[in-house]
Amino acid sequence: MSQDISIEEVSPKQIVGLRTTTRMDRIGEDIGTGFGKVMHAIAGAGETPTGPPLVVYHDMADANGDMVIETCIPVGNDVPEQGDVRTRALDGGTVASTVHHGPYDQLRAAYEKVTSWISEHGHQIVGPPREFYLNDPDEVTPDELLTRIEFPILVHSG
């Protein structure tokens, strides 16, 4: 299940990322492949990650079921471009966030909870959601997985 939802200010992050078009039936595989390519570029540049890996959901599923995601890893310095793997800034700012405790296949409920909360409080989503993977699925059970979900928002001031 998910923790409470909070509004936070987050700092911009320098990330190395790979955009991919995927579908729900292969998203896990595509995320794994993306992280492998991003880590290869980071290691090849002699860099190390400065934070947990994340996925930015640029376009959610369209009528055909396709979605555009970006698998990313924060770094301290620019990493030379390798194919579609690029360094860029991940915007900071105000986010509505929660931490989901449990399997990845139960994340949809956490997303629904956050988007409902944003709407109920009159806030506006102003950027793509992102998931930060706070622990490693190879090291913990599915029930122990921790995933931070962030939605960039414009806070309703009334």
71-104 pLDDT, tens digit each: 999 999 999 999 999 999 999 999 999 999 999 9
Domains delineated in the chain: 6-154 (3.20.80.10)
pLDDT at 133: 98
User: CA–CA separation, 90 vs 120, rounded Å?
Assistant: 27
pLDDT for 80 equals: 95
pLDDT recorded at residue 83: 93
Q: Is 122 left (phi over 0), alpha (psi -120 to 50) or beta?
A: left
C-alpha 104/C-alpha 77 separation (Å) is 30
The tens digit of pLDDT for each residue in 43-81 reads 999 999 999 999 999 988 777 789 999 999 999 999 999
- Looking at residue 3, what is its pLDDT? 64
* Separation CA 95–CA 139 (nearest Å): 29
pLDDT value at residue 158: 66
User: Could you give the CA distance from residue 144 to residue 15 in angstroms, rounded to a whole number?
Assistant: 26
